Amino acid sequence: MQTEHVEHCSSDRVSVVIPARNEAPNLPHVLEALPADLHEVILVDGHSTDDTIAVALRARPDVKIVQQTRRGKGNALACGFAHVTGDIVATLDGDGSADPAEIPGFVAALAAGAEFAKGTRFDRGGSSHDITRFRRIGNTALSRLVNLVFGTAYTDLCYGYNAFRVQLLPVLDLPSVNAVSSRPSGLLWGDGFEIETMIHIRVRRSGARIAEVGSIEMARLHGASNLRAIPDGLRVLRTIVAEHQRLRQLEFELGREEATVETGLVRESA
Ligand SMILES: Nc1nc2c(ncn2[C@@H]2O[C@H](COP(=O)(O)OP(=O)(O)O)[C@@H](O)[C@H]2O)c(=O)[nH]1
Ligand SMILES: [Mg+2]
């Protein structure tokens, strides 16, 4: 599927989506550091048991609070995307690890012609003060695997600081926010930390212009990461396999459609 290439114009409205689960001590820092002139700031609460919502509203009274429908960062992002009304979506974490002052750099990459500006901590001047050695090795290996399988040139597969044009939302085809999971975990595939991998593979498949943007990840300010390196790393690995199968299935269906049209077997009533 090829997306229509859309040119950036300076009047583009930037919507910021911030997933947050128990980030009350970190949110004032994040929200107060956001650049001026944003179209909207959407905070997706992950059933927080602390003061996340109250603190967010105090720090930024115009913040739009969205309650996520299931669990996990992926579901949080999908819920946030469903409320976006701007032209550009920027995603950043609410734990203080992502510098909001980098948003204009992402938007500039879109202005320069990219449709997806993908943050990288490992190229273009980026770095991380947050990632562990173990996670870094896993991320490098998984990035290489995706590059090999999907022909991408990603230097940081599992990073969620990105900006992209809203026209790309349909190609992400994320799990419906209204669906109910019958799994004991309460998650659908794509609801967890595999979300970045899913997005980066699907964007690639859409044919969108992708540009990597260097980003300096700071250490999370307070609290602990929700990510569990081994189970979540395995979810990423399974996502790569599942996306490869999905791609083959889509290509098979496309090929069958084309063959049907070519051989004149298409029926009016179909
Ligand atoms: N709404 C929501 N946000 C989440 C969830 N899990 C993680 N987050 C947020 O996603 C961002 C990144 O998560 P974090 O735990 O810091 O993972 P890490 O950065 O990969 O170590 C933070 O802002 C978290 O609060 C969730 O289940 N729901
Ligand atoms: Mg973090």
Does a structural domain hold residue 26? yes
Residue 9, in any domain of the structure: no
Judged against a pLDDT cut of 60, whether residue 265 lies above it is answered with no
Per-residue pLDDT, 143: 98
Ligand 1 nearest atom to the CA of residue 18, by list position = 23
Report the CATH number that the domain containing residue 136 is assigned in CATH: 3.90.550.10
Q: What confidence score (pLDDT) does residue 10 get?
A: 66
Q: Mutate which of 226, 227, 235 to test ligand 1's pocket (most atoms within 8 Å of Cβ)?
A: 226
Q: How confident is the model at residue 251 (pLDDT cuts 50, 70, 90)?
A: confident
Residue ranges of E strands in the chain: 14-20, 40-45, 64-67, 88-91, 116-120, 127-128, 162-165, 210-214, 216-217
Q: What are the residues whose beta carbons fall under 8 Å from the beta carbon of 244, sequence distance 6 or more?
A: 149, 150
The CA distance from 202 to 173, in Å, is 8
pLDDT for the residue numbered 262: 67
Q: What is the pLDDT of residues 129-144, one digit of tens each?
A: 999 999 999 999 999 9
SS3 state at 250: helix
Whole-model pTM?
Answer: 0.92
- 6: pLDDT strictly greater than 60: no
pLDDT at 204: 97
Q: Classify residue 150 by burial, with Cβ atoms within 10 Å: 0-12, 13-18, 19+.
A: middle
The per-residue pLDDT for range 72-81, each reduced to its tens digit, is 999 999 999 9
Structural contact between residues 17 and 42, judged by C-beta atoms closer than 8 angstroms? yes
- Could you give the number of structural domains in the chain? 1
Residue 53 CA, chain-centre distance (Å), reads 22
Is the confidence at residue 8, as pLDDT, over 50? no
pLDDT tens, 80-135? 999 999 999 999 999 999 999 999 999 999 999 999 999 999 999 999 999 999 99
Instruction: Identify whether 2 is part of a domain.
Output: no
Q: Whose CA is nearest to atom 11 of ligand 1?
A: 93
Average pLDDT over the chain, rounded to whole?
Answer: 93
Mean pLDDT on 28-49: 98
pLDDT for 267? 43
Q: Is residue 33 part of a domain?
A: yes
Rounded Cα distance between 78 and 93, Å, is 14
CA 93 to centroid of ligand 1, rounded, Å: 7
Give the whole-angstrom CA distance, residue 73 versus residue 20.
8
pLDDT at residue number 260: 77
In a domain, 4, yes or no: no
- 197 contacts 154 by C-beta, under 8 angstroms: no
Relative to the alpha carbon of 228, which ligand is closest? Answer: 1
Residue 52 sits in which domain range? 14-269
Q: DSSP label at 63?
A: P
* 5 located within any domain: no
Identify the nearest ligand to the CA of 18 by its number.
1
Band of pLDDT at residue 264, cut at 50, 70 and 90: low
> Which amino acid, one-letter code, is at 218?
M
Quote the pLDDT of residue 208: 98
Q: Is the pLDDT of residue 148 over 90?
A: yes
- How many whole angstroms separate alpha carbon 30 and alpha carbon 190? 25
Give the binding-site residues of ligand 1, using a 6 Å CB cut-off. 19-21, 23, 44-46, 68, 71-73, 76, 93-95, 97, 220, 225-227
Q: Which ligand is nearest to the CA of 232?
A: 1
- Using the predicted structure, report yes or no on whether residue 234 has a pLDDT greater than 50: yes
Residue 143 within any structural domain of the chain:
yes
